[in-house]
Structure 1
């Protein structure tokens, strides 16, 4: 096993780590190991999409689509 030293850790991160460790009933060190392992987990290779999924991408929408209205709504929401 290897050893890793982390310097200049934000106190809030340490506090959250301690809190999570207590909730899970493990040491802070174990919680950190688990979090690191989850964070760098190798993703499974993506499956190729089915022909049905690809065909669905090319279908016409059922009703008219107003891109300007959708865009305006997104901008209005962002300004709130």
Structure 2
């Protein structure tokens, strides 16, 4: 995939990009890709994180506690 560098981006534009990305639950880089894709008429492919966020969007999880399973496991023997 191609990469670009945007030089001399005004600070207020950068702040607005980061704020909008935060609202959409993604990185500023992902937000910039989405904006460019939309502006050029291309539908951005959602990433796994975006799809998972959409599943839980609007859910009230304030009282939900998720405890990590810290049970040690045996490494897989690939021999």
Aligned length: 42
In structure 1, what is the equivalent of residue 14 of structure 2?
14
User: Would you tell me which structure has more helix in proportion to its own residues?
Assistant: 1
TM superposition shift of 1:39: 1.0
TM superposition shift of 1:24: 0.5
Structure 1-normalised TM-score?
0.50
- Partner of 2:6, secondary structure, is coil
The within-5 A match list for 1:37-52 is 37-41=37-41
Q: What do the CA deviations read for 1:10-60 (whole angstroms, capped 9, x no partner)?
A: 111100000001001000000000001111116xxxxxxxxxxxxxxxxxx
In structure 2, what is the equivalent of residue 28 of structure 1?
28
Q: Point out where structure 1 has 5 or more consecutive residues left out of the alignment.
A: 43-80
The within-5 A match list for 1:56-67 is none
Structure 2-normalised TM-score?
0.51
Q: Point out where structure 2 has 5 or more consecutive residues left out of the alignment.
A: 43-79
d(CA) in 2 for partners of 1:38, 1:12: 21
Runs of 4+ in structure 1 over 3 Å off: none
In angstroms, what is the RMSD of aligned CA positions?
1.1
